[in-house]
Structure 1
Amino acid sequence: MPEWLIGFARTRITPPLGCEMAGFDARKGVADAVHDDLYAHALVFDDDGAQTVLMSLDVIAVSAEFSLAVRRDIEEATGIPASNIFLAATHTHCGPVTVDLFYQGQQLDVAYLQSLRRVVVTVAITASNNKRPRTLKTGMVPVAGIAVNRRTPDGLPVDPFAGVFFIEELDGQAAAVAVIYACHTTVLGPDTLSFTQDFPFYTLAKLKSVLGQSVEALYFNGAQGDLSIGHKSNLSAVGVIDPFRTFATAQRLGERLADAVLAGLKNLALEAPGVKVLSHKVALPLKRYEPLVAMTQAREEAGRRIDPQRMDAEMLAIRQDSLFARIEEYYAKLYEQSDAPEPKTLSIECAAILLGETAIITLPGEVFARVALGIRAASPFAKTIFLGLTNNYIGYLPDHEATRDSGYEVVASRVSAIAGDILQQETLQLLNALQKASAR
């Protein structure tokens, strides 16, 4: 059996009750309960000294500054290069505020972030220290009936696969399973004031109930920018909560994902040890905005039209206009404050990871499904998986077709329509370079 050195660990990161919760502009109130705990997980893969760390955090997102600090701390403690360390948010909207966004009144909890930094570093060190010979199986299992494209009449496209990493002890006992699936973790809406992982909680609980409670189970999100479980983001953003957004729905969908993973375990391929990581910086063109004074005036005018007592169709449209004006003012301010020369760009880190024959592309925000599916279709690797919301949060990255239709995600994107094309080109170059490096 091909032996890797693999380590894993997890630790609880649930904040105290009473803190603000991230993810919904329309949410009123602070966290008042814990439905299920939030965790930080770490997976360390080692092939004769070539190592990478994949970390899953049950938070809405991580900033580039936070990620860089954590990665440097882990490098100092373990010797694993910071460039080979990846922090991926599951994107739960029922967790703490960990990044600055346009939401009204939300403040970063500096003390919590400092504590989170220490905890995340510690769990990575623990995983590294726990490395031992194990085997790795990987695959892409078909999944249906969960994610829906929330911007299209037919609910398509979606990513029809979940990536799976299945780690076993040398005696064949299950040790850990990681699921990578593209979907907003937003079954629960802005009326939920309980901390929760959302539907992945039920996915991981079902996997552990079948594989064994001692088995480590963790979830990563994928290219989920326009994928959710059926509600429309334009309405959800202004407080319209569909009646199906309940814990019962989260359980049904989460267990459905677990069932798809369990059914696919028999088809996973045993991977020979091999770790390679390539990365480089990519410049994405930013949108241009009207002068900030004009944007502020538009936001104020839109806000004055809101009647807080009404939620009819006309008032919902007015509320959307007000939210969109506030988002654009927020980004116009960031644009104006930037001292970069014109045309201004957003620098992101793109990385390609090879584990055996499975390629992983990391994405620093919420990339639309068409962009990711285009990368996979042209990838030189039969198994190409995406880790979304990794090492940074740049917001949404729509494709050209979505940009023509506008809507919440397009308004909330900082980058222009061509950014998706650039990301595809750059990641394919990385994948091709990775293939050449692996053939040597």
Structure 2
Amino acid sequence: MSDAPDHSPRLFGRGSWLEARRIGDVLRKETIGGMLLLAGAVVALVWANSPWSGGYEAMRGFTFGPEALHLNLSVATWAADGLLAIFFFVAGLELKREFVAGDLRDPRRAAVPIAAAVGGVLVPAALYAVINLSASGGEGKGWAIPTATDIAFALAVLAVIGRFLPHAMRTFLLTLAVVDDLLAIVIIAVFYTSGLSVLPLLATLVPLGLFTVLVQRRVRSWWLLLPLAFAAWALMHASGVHATVAGVLLGFAVPVLRSRKAGGPEAGPGLAEHFEHRFRPISAGVAVPVFALMSAGVAVGGLSGLGSALTDPVAVGIMVGLVVGKPIGITAATWLTTRFTRAKMDTGFAWIDVFGLAVLAGIGFTVSLLIGELAFGIGSDRDDHVKVAVLAGSLAAALLATVLLRLRNRTYRRLYEAENVDADRDDIPDVYQQDTGTTRTTPHP
């Protein structure tokens, strides 16, 4: 009988220590951002349903900016088109780094979260379409609303309820959500672009190309890069393509590895990681919470108004997509991928872990609200119903995931306390230092 090591791809494999440490830093920032996001949403809801709701609407509708550049926009539009471009810029940086220098540069490791993200897009969209095409008064153009996962919100919930859950589960959720965001921006660019202007779109290539040349030469001067980035964003906005697409393209342009002249990839963090450290706090701490403040405020109108909103086929499709479609799509896609790639669940994990994360991925907030505004128009009756449905569906997904993952958290806590495995003086856990011999078999939180 052969004692050769098993090199089959592992679902929830722990990966490298450097990657685990980097993911931990990302999660801390996104968790704080999730708390601020929740605060912004609560303030918006309370304000919109208070006697001072007129002030809230006046603030959202206040316009400013140069008319000549088609940038005389409302505050709400600046938040959706401008601030979220920063969010998608960071998502682009994160995704490129994962596939160039992270643990997901191995196609076998990358296949599972990518497939899970695709499944988490297709099934909710299909359920929404079935509900709205079969119901009177249904509207098909909102099919993409329940396909998104909110990174900050989902990771914040996971941090609160799952202290002892393994890092691999957090990494899986983060990667799934980032790929989900990329799919969302492709959907926005393809299906929610109206009145395309070719000349500004072609002109976007000029500042985008100059930006790419400079960052490839490892230029970090903000006074050169920021004007080019703003020009690319403004021209993309003028073209009719949603301006957040520019954020993703700018993120993809940034090199991940250090140049050979600077010492190669082992000499330290590259420019993508440098920008990520700079802009992630702005994205998580400012851009997304302000967008939530501008977009989550909806006048419910009492129980009768709430009932009317939640019985709208659009709202039903969104809630079913988030609460039912996301878990089914992600879990089924993960299972199918493991079957076709012969991947194995890492020791100590169970399929209930996958399902718990899939339910948590049903928290669709930031990008779902953005797509809702693009599909039905800011301030429309259907837009209000979308907001109610996204909030209700995300809350239901968060509560269900809390029940499931709290149970798993208790299991992992008992395993951790039984083993009493701690870090050495170098702060690197033993499991990351042992490549051979007897390595513990249960996941480390």
Which structure has more strand as a fraction of its residues? 1
TM-score range, shorter chain: under 0.3
Using structure 1 for the length normalisation, give the TM-score: 0.24
Kindly indicate which of the two structures has a greater share of residues assigned to helix: 2
Greater relative contact order (CA < 8 Å, ≥ 6 in sequence)? 2
